[in-house]
A and B are shown apart, each in its own frame.
Chain A
Amino acid sequence: MTPDNPGMLTTKFWDEARNERLVRPVCGRCNTSFFSPQILCPKCQSGKWEFQKSTGKGSIYSYTIIHRPPDDDYPNPYIIIDVELEEGWRMYSRLIDCSPSEVRIGQTVKVAFQVFKGKMLPFFKVEED
C-alpha cells in the first residue's frame, strides 16, 4: 500500500539533507528511532512521530565493494555500507574517501554530505579515532 501522498513521509528528510542535516523519525510515544520513514512506528504503531537531528555518527554493520557501477557517475569500485547510527537506527549509504582495501566491519563513520546527480546526499566517511 502506498500513502495517499507518497512524498509526505520523506520530503522533510531531503529538505534537511539540503542543509546538510541528517534526520530520522523518532516516535513521540515510545521514543524509538527508525528508518526508513513509515506511517506508523514499527515498535508501538503510533502515528505521532517527528524527524529529529542525528549526530551522524555510527559504525559499519556490513559493506560490499561494487565492481560494476550502474553508470559513469559512480567511481569504480565503490563501497556500499549498512550503517548503524548512534541513536540505534540504520540506513544504507556509500563510504567515500576510503580505499576499498581499508574498509572494515565495525569501523566508526560520520556523515559527509555531497551532491550526487544533482541531489544532496548523506554519504559517510571513516572517522579517525
Chain B
Amino acid sequence: MKKPEVAIVGIGITKQAKSMDTNTIQICQEAVQKALDDAGMNMAEVDGIAARWPGPGGTELDPGVVDWTGIFGKPFRWVGDTYPQGIPGLLDAAAAVSFGLCNVAIVFGGQAGVLKREHLADYTQPTNEFVEPWGLFTAAHFAMVAQVYFQKFEPDRLKMSYIAAEIRNAGAQNPEAVMYEKGPYTPEDIIQSPKIAEPFHLLDLCLATEGASAFIITSTERARDCPQKPIRILGGSSEWYRQQYVNPVRYDEVKNLGKEAFQRAFKQAELGVEDIDLFELYDINTWEIVRQFETLGLCDEGGGSDFLFENGIGANGKYPTNTDGGLLSFSHTGWGGPNLKVIEAVRQLRGQASGFQVQEAKHALVTGAGSGAQYFNAAVLSV
C-alpha cells in the first residue's frame, strides 16, 4: 500500500440543533456551499459526489426521492452510494480521486425537519419483525454488548463516567455544539442521570439532532492552489461484520471490531498510535470510547476506564478525545453524523477549532460506528 495523494480541501458545517425549521435537502445544500467557499471552488469543478444516491429519501424510486444531478443542475463523473457518510464516504471518495474516476469529490449529509421533540428518532428503531416487537432500539443493541463487558470486568463506573463528563464538558465550551453551556458535568452527574438501557444512563448516550456537514476531497496537486491548508488522508480501512441492528450482536464476536482496520490504516499511513495527537472517535456511548482505546492496544481489555481516567482525554490530557463535544454533546445528524468526526479533525489540524484547540496537532485518528453496529471504520488524517 502506498500513501494516497489525496487531501481534504474544504469543509462546511451548518448550524446544529435539536430540531430545525427547514428540510434535509436545503440544509445539505447549505453545507455544500460552505464547503465550496472554504475550498475556493464552485460546483462546476465538482465531478464526484457521495451523498447517498439517489437519497436522502431512500434508494427506492418513491416520490420525493432526490436526484442530486437535478438539485445541482449538472452531471457527475463519479457517484458513491455510501452508507453511512463519514469515513466510508471519505475513503470511497479518496479512492475515486486516486483512481481518476473524478477530480474533485464532495461528501455530505445531514437531516432537518425530521426529528420530533420528545420522541426517539425513527431511524434508531428498526422495523425488522425480529427486532421491533421486543422494544429494541440502537442504544439497546449496544447496551447488550456492553453488559457482557460490565459483568466480566466490573469497570469502575465513576472512572468510566469521567469520559462522558469530559467529552460533554468540551461541548459545553463549544459555541457551535448543540449542548453549548449545558454543563459542566462531574462523573457523579453521569451516574445520577436517568437509566435508559442498562448499563447506560441518559448522559452516556449520544444525541439525535439536526444539521448538515460536507467536505471536499481532491488530489494533493490541486490542493496546493486551495486557500486552506490541505489535510492529507494518509490511510484508512473498514470492517463490515454483519448487517446492523438485526441479528443479535455479541460482545465475544465484536469486542475487537476495528483492530484490523486500525492496523491497516496505521500501516498505510506509516504511523503508529503513539503518533496520534487527536482522537475523534465515534462516541455513540461512553463505553464505546473505552472499547476503542482497548482495541487500539493502548491498554488491556477491561482496563480502558482506568487507563483513560489516569491519562486524561480533555484539553490537557494525554489523549485529547472528541474535542468538539462529540456525538454526546456537539451533534449527531443521523446518516450524516459520521461526517462530523472528519470535520472536527480538519478544524483541529488547521488550528480552526470552534471549541478548545489542541496545540500543534499533526496527526488525527477518526473513527466511525462500533461494536453494536457490527461495522467499524478508521482513518488517519494529517497536516
Which residues of A line the B interface, CB within 8 A? Answer: 10, 14, 35-36, 61-70, 74, 77-78, 80, 82, 90-94, 105, 116-117, 119, 121
**B147 part of interface (Cβ distance < 8 Å):** yes
Q: Tell me which residues across on chain B come within 8 A of A93, comparing CB atoms.
A: 134
Asked if B131 is an interface residue, CB under 8 A from chain A, the answer is yes
Contact of B129 among A10, A35, A62, A68 (CB under 8 A): A10
Return chain A residues, CB-CB under 8 Å to B248.
Answer: 61, 82, 90-92
Instruction: Provide the residues of chain B in CB contact with A62, threshold 8 Å.
Output: 144-145, 147-148, 250-251
Candidates B128, B140, B199, B247; contact of A80 at CB < 8 Å: B140
Closest to A82 in B: B248
- Which of B105-113, B177-185, B189-197, B275-283 is near enough to bind chain A? B189-197
0/1 per residue, B237-271, Cβ < 8 Å to A?
00000000011101100000000000000000000
Chain B residues 110 to 147 lying within 8 A of chain A, measured CB to CB, are 120, 125, 128-131, 133-137, 140, 143-145, 147
B285 to chain A, nearest CB (A): 12
**Chain A neighbourhood of B131, CB < 8 A:** 92
Give the A-binding residues of B (Cβ under 8 A). 120, 125, 128-131, 133-137, 140, 143-145, 147-148, 151, 194-199, 246-248, 250-251
Q: Give the residue of A66, A91, A119 whose beta carbon is less than 8 angstroms from that of B196.
A: A66
Instruction: Give the docked Cα–Cα distance between A94 and B151 (Å).
Output: 20
- Cα distance A92–B194 when bound, in Å? 24
Chain B min CB distance to A6 (Å): 10
Q: How far is the CA of A105 from the CA of B102 in the complex (A)?
A: 52
Contact yes or no, B140 A66, CB < 8 A:
yes
A22 to B133 CA separation, bound complex (whole angstroms): 16
List the B side residues contacting A65 at CB < 8 Å: 195, 197-198
Please give, as numbers and ranges, the residues of chain B lying within 8 Å of A82 by CB-CB distance. Answer: 144, 248, 250
Shortest CB distance B148–A (Å): 5
**With a CB–CB cut-off of 8 A, which chain B residues contact A36?**
128, 130, 246-247
A35-B247, A80-B135 known; A66 vs B197 contact (CB < 8 Å): yes
